[in-house]
Amino acid sequence: MCPQSDSLTTTNSYASYAAEISFFLEIVCVLAQTVEILLMQKLVQGIHRFQDGVFSSKQRMFEGLVEGQKPLALFITCSDSRINPNMLTQTEPGELFILRNAGNIVPPYGLAEGGEAATIEYAVSVLGVKDIVICGHSHCGAMGGLLDQSQLAKLPAVRSWLGHAESTYLIITENYAHVTDAAARLMATVEENVLVQLEHLRTHPTVVAALARSELDLHGWVYKFETGQVFSYRPNENQFLAIEGTSSTVLPSARELPPI
C-alpha cells in the first residue's frame, strides 16, 4: 500500500502545485489586463487634455489646416518612440511632412514596394518641400540589430528591411575596426547610416530633378536624445557637428562624401 500511498501523495502534491500555478497565472493575467486598461486610459485621458487644452487654445490654427498643407521640410527619422520630431524642432501641425520607419531608412529608388518612395515623391513634387532631413538618433535599436544580427534571428521582416542598410554595415566592419567601444561603434553606425540613406535619397528621380534645379537641400542629422543635442553633417569637415555651433563632435567619418 505504501507505493499507492506515495502515489496518492504525489498526485495530491501535483494537483496542489497545478492549482497554485493556475491561480498565479490568473493573477498575472488580471494584472496584465489592468495594466493594459491603465495604458489605454492614459491615451484616452491624453486626448481629453488635448481637446480641452491644446486644441481649444489653437483652434483657429487647426481650422486653417483644412485649406491644405505647405510643410517646411520632409523629415525622415526612426520609428523609435523616444524621438518626437515636432517637439525637437518646435514645429506645429502642418509644418513637417514626416516619414518614419525602423532605422530611418530610404530604400534606393525601385528596390522596395513600401511607401517611402511615394512619400518622398509627394513631398517634393506636390508639396514642393525645399529641405529634406534624415535624422538618426542615439541608442537606435535598428542600428544595434544591424551590428549584431544574431538579434534578428526571429525577426525576418526586420532583417530583410535592414538589407537597405547593408552598405552601412560594410562601412563599419571594414573601416571602423579601431573603434572597439560598443557605444562609440553604435554611434558611428548611426552616423554612417544617415550618410548612406542620403545617398539612397539621391537615387529618387524627383529628388535628383529638384537638386538639379537647386530647389532642394538635403541634410543629415543625428539626435542625441539623452542630451538634447542635434548634430548636423558638415561635408567640408566630413563630420557631424553640434547645430548650436560649438565644436563638439560625435565621431569623424572615415570616408569622404560629396557635398550635400
Determine the residue type at 117: A
Task: Note whether 116 binds Zn ion by CB under 5 A.
Answer: no
Task: Note whether 195 binds Zn ion by CB under 5 A.
Answer: no
Determine the residue type at 238: N
Residues 215-234 interacting with Zn ion (rule: CB under 5 A): none
What crossing angle do the helices spanning 182-201 and 166-175 adopt, rounded to 10°?
Answer: 130
Please name the residues in contact with 207: beta carbons below 8 A apart, sequence gap of 6 or more.
Answer: 120, 124, 132, 201, 216, 218
Return the beta strands (E) in 67-201 as ranges.
73-78, 96-101, 131-137
Q: Closest separation between CB of residue 46 and Zn ion, Å?
A: 23
Q: Closest separation between CB of residue 152 and Zn ion, Å?
A: 14
* # binding residues, Zn ion (CB under 5 A): 4
Closest CA to 76 of 204, 234, 175: 204
Residues 50-109 interacting with Zn ion (rule: CB under 5 A): 78, 80
Query: CA–CA separation, 53 vs 51, rounded Å?
Result: 6
Site map (CB under 5 A) of Zn ion, residues 124-143, x = contact: ----------------x-x-
Closer residue to Zn ion, CB minimum distance, 143 or 201: 143
Q: Closest separation between CB of residue 123 and Zn ion, Å?
A: 21
Q: Closest separation between CB of residue 224 and Zn ion, Å?
A: 12
In the complex, which residues of this chain contact Zn ion (CB under 5 A)?
78, 80, 140, 142
